[in-house]
């Protein structure tokens, strides 16, 4: 056969098999194996190749990838703007180092104290901080890497963590957020991301700057989170994860962020499920109006030495001035607008875009179909914050006793922007009228007020409104005080105490947790990972009924006593969620009286209620509506 005929046949056969012709066999060069095919620690992403590292824990291997960039560093002209996707890189990115923490102020009320230091940034603080981390069980990674069928490789659910910190602090790099134990003990992939916080993440000046300039639009931190979630969704399949089985989970501001992503028109549908720990978008601290955010932004401009009066005529000049200010100075000056306890100067803003309207309106609309959630609270949510904001009254080591006049001072300070009638109603609700001068009860009531108003009752409200749309809601109530807690006994089961159990810290034998605490941690990890896979946190043979307004069941997370409860804090939350909004609408609001003077004589109410209000230590009296009816009636006179 003629040589040229052989060449033609080779071309025909090659094209039929989908291969380009590369010359006679003797002259062809074989394509070398790809790096990601040879080394399971190398993963191909849409942005480029990344190399992680293997870590061993509990006799199991986990493949860990840290410090993967998902956006350009938001520095220079990108400060105070929405994130810009990272440019593709060449070569193999080393993903074995924890990323920078975003700029923030460290908490130094108790220098060197473990309970405080565990929440402070543990890596270098920088504006160059938009990175993410991924933990993959080795068995999942190898099974996926070695699968022959590239289109039907096994995939597992993905849990994406969003850290808390009041939208003012926090970092995904904290030891307590290490996803190693979760990945080692379950068939899920864990991921987390950094996002901008404080003014860097939430400065809102858009109404005063040029439309479309993308300068200080507010909610930049939420846009950071959204970009990271999208990056993970686009690339997680190459790590062995299922992009259609993404569950967001977070605590405090992280929980608030999760709830936003589930209901925002910008991000709903990105994740199939959500887990909210002690934080929801409808909580008073978790959002602010555009008007308030704008006022706070103008104060920061002035405090940073820039001319706020030029915002209307020369916004670009003002923004250039702000971008020239040292990041540390901004971190300090932003706190000048701290108003009162849990009233932070940065928070998700109703901007007409990411958060187009009031969170309760979005919840009422219910435009988030086929979404399932786990939601929950801790027993003593308020004690952590009462210590920090009223440090002159309390000691972290306790014991604590609070005189009645100091109790009244604290309540009036917390709610200083409310009317006297509203404050009187709160005091009335949170007083045991048979033990008015019980200093232990006064201290406990302050913790209950803060915990109920800022955390437990907004959580209940979110759960109820979500369930009203026919969606599955599973509620937990965490009541386990960590045996290793360095905080005083009086602080109880604090805000954030569940996080260590969620991430498997009791499984670290060097930390001296009890065997039952280790079992509790494993149960929580199993519940969250099972939920990520099936949408139900427990097998069919375990009783954890869904939560509804009519049947508000919750599951108790406790090392000694697991079970089902009803509530939690039903009567207190009826006060905050049902009665208090009506009180704010009463004619007494416009009575024209001197609001610096009490509208009601609290001692008179005390005397009237003696014999009626019995044993109201936990605010559970059935007579509450009768007496409040009297309050409203008197206010309307």
Residues annotated as part of the active site: 252, 381, 495
d(Cα 92, Cα 135) in Å, to the nearest integer? 18
Q: Which residues pair with 553 in a beta bridge?
A: 566
Where do we find the tokens 């034998």? Answer: 509
d(Cα 86, Cα 95) in Å, to the nearest integer? 15
* 192 phi/psi in degrees, rounded to 5: -150, 165
Instruction: Quote the tokens at residue 402.
Output: 């609070």
Nearest to 238 by CA among 400, 41, 16: 41
Q: Contact at 8 Å (CB) between 397 and 298?
A: no
Q: Contact at 8 Å (CB) between 404 and 435?
A: no
Instruction: Quote the tokens at residue 271.
Output: 């994740």
Q: Which residues pair with 450 in a beta bridge?
A: none
**3-class SS shares of the chain: helix, strand, coil, % to 5:** 40, 15, 45
Provide the terminal-to-terminal Cα distance of the chain, rounded to the nearest Å: 113
d(Cα 271, Cα 261) in Å, to the nearest integer? 8
Q: E strand or H helix at 570, and its extent?
A: helix 570-574
Nearest to 171 by CA among 105, 226, 96, 84: 105
- Could you check whether the bond before residue 212 is cis, i.e. omega within 30 degrees of 0? no
HEC states along 269-305? CCCCEEEEECCCCCCCCCCECHHHHHHHHHHHHHHCC
* 108 phi/psi in degrees, rounded to 5: -135, 40
Q: In what order do the strands lie in the sheet with 42-44?
A: 42-44, 49-51, 92-94
d(Cα 286, Cα 248) in Å, to the nearest integer? 17
Q: Three-state SS for 49?
A: strand
Nearest to 505 by CA among 14, 177, 143, 79: 177
In eight-state DSSP terms, residue 322 is: H
HSE, side-chain direction, 13 A CA sphere, residue 329 = 13
In angstroms, what CA-CA distances link 499 with 219, 261, 387, 502, 624?
25, 21, 20, 5, 36
Nearest to 583 by CA among 428, 454, 361, 431: 428
């Amino acid at each position: 056969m003629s040589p040229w005929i052989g060449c033609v046949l080779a071309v025909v056969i090659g094209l039929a098999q989908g291969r380009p012709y590369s010359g006679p066999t003797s002259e062809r060069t074989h394509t070398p194996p790809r790096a990601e095919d040879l080394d399971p620690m190398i993963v191909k992403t849409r942005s480029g190749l990344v190399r992680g590292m293997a870590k061993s824990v509990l006799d199991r291997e986990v493949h860990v990838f840290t410090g993967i960039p998902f956006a350009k560093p938001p520095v220079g002209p990108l400060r105070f703007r929405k994130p810009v996707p990272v440019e593709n890189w060449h070569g193999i990115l080393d993903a074995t180092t924890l990323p920078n923490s975003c700029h923030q102020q460290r908490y130094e009320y108790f220098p060197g104290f473990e309970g405080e230091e565990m929440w402070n940034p543990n890596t270098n603080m920088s504006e160059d901080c938009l990175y993410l981390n991924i933990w993959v069980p080795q068995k999942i990674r190898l099974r996926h890497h070695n699968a022959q069928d590239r289109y039907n490789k096994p995939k597992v659910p993905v849990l994406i963590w969003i850290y808390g910190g009041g939208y003012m602090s926090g970092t995904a790099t904290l030891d307590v957020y290490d996803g190693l134990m979760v990945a080692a003990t379950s068939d899920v992939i864990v991921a987390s991301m950094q996002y901008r916080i404080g003014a860097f993440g939430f400065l809102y000046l858009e109404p005063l700057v040029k439309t479309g300039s993308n300068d200080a639009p507010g909610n930049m931190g939420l846009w950071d989170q959204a970009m990271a979630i999208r990056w993970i969704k686009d690339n997680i399949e190459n790590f062995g994860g299922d992009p259609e089985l993404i569950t967001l989970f977070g605590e405090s501001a992280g929980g608030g962020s999760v709830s936003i992503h589930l209901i925002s028109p910008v991000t709903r549908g990105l994740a199939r499920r959500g887990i909210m720990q002690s934080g929801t978008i409808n909580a008073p601290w978790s959002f602010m109006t555009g008007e308030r955010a704008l006022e706070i932004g103008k104060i920061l401009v002035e405090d940073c030495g820039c001319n706020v009066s030029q915002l209307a005529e020369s916004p670009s000049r003002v923004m250039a001035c702000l971008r020239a200010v040292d990041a540390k100075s901004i971190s300090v000056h932003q706190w000048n607008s701290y108003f009162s306890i849990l009233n932070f100067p940065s928070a998700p803003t109703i901007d007409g875009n990411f958060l187009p309207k009031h969170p309760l309106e979005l919840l009422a609309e219910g435009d988030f179909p086929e979404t399932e959630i786990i939601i929950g609270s801790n027993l003593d949510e308020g004690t952590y914050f009462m210590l920090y904001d009223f440090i002159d009254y309390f000691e972290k080591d306790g014991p604590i006793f609070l005189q009645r006049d100091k109790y009244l001072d604290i309540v009036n300070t917390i709610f200083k922007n409310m009317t006297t009638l509203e404050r009187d109603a709160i005091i009335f609700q949170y007083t045991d009228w048979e033990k008015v001068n019980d200093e232990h009860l006064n201290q406990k009531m302050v913790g209950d007020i803060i915990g109920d108003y800022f955390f437990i009752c907004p959580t209940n409200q979110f759960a109820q409104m979500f369930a009203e749309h026919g969606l599955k809601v599973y509620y937990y109530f965490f009541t386990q005080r960590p045996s290793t807690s360095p905080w005083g006994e009086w602080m109880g089961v604090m805000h954030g105490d569940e996080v260590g159990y969620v991430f498997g810290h009791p499984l670290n034998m060097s930390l001296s947790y009890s065997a039952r605490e280790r079992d509790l941690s494993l149960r929580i990890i199993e519940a969250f990972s099972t939920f990520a896979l099936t949408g139900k946190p427990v097998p069919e043979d375990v009783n954890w009924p869904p939560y509804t307004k009519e049947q508000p069941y919750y599951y108790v997370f406790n090392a000694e006593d697991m079970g089902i409860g009803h509530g939690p804090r039903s009567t207190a939350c009826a006060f905050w969620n049902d009665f208090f909004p009506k009180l704010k609408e009463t004619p007494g609001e416009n009575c024209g009286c001197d609001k610096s003077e009490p509208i009601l004589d609290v001692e008179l109410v005390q005397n009237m209620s003696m014999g009626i209000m019995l044993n109201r230590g936990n605010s559970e009296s059935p007579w509450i509506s009768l007496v409040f009816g009297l309050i409203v009636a008197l206010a309307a006179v």
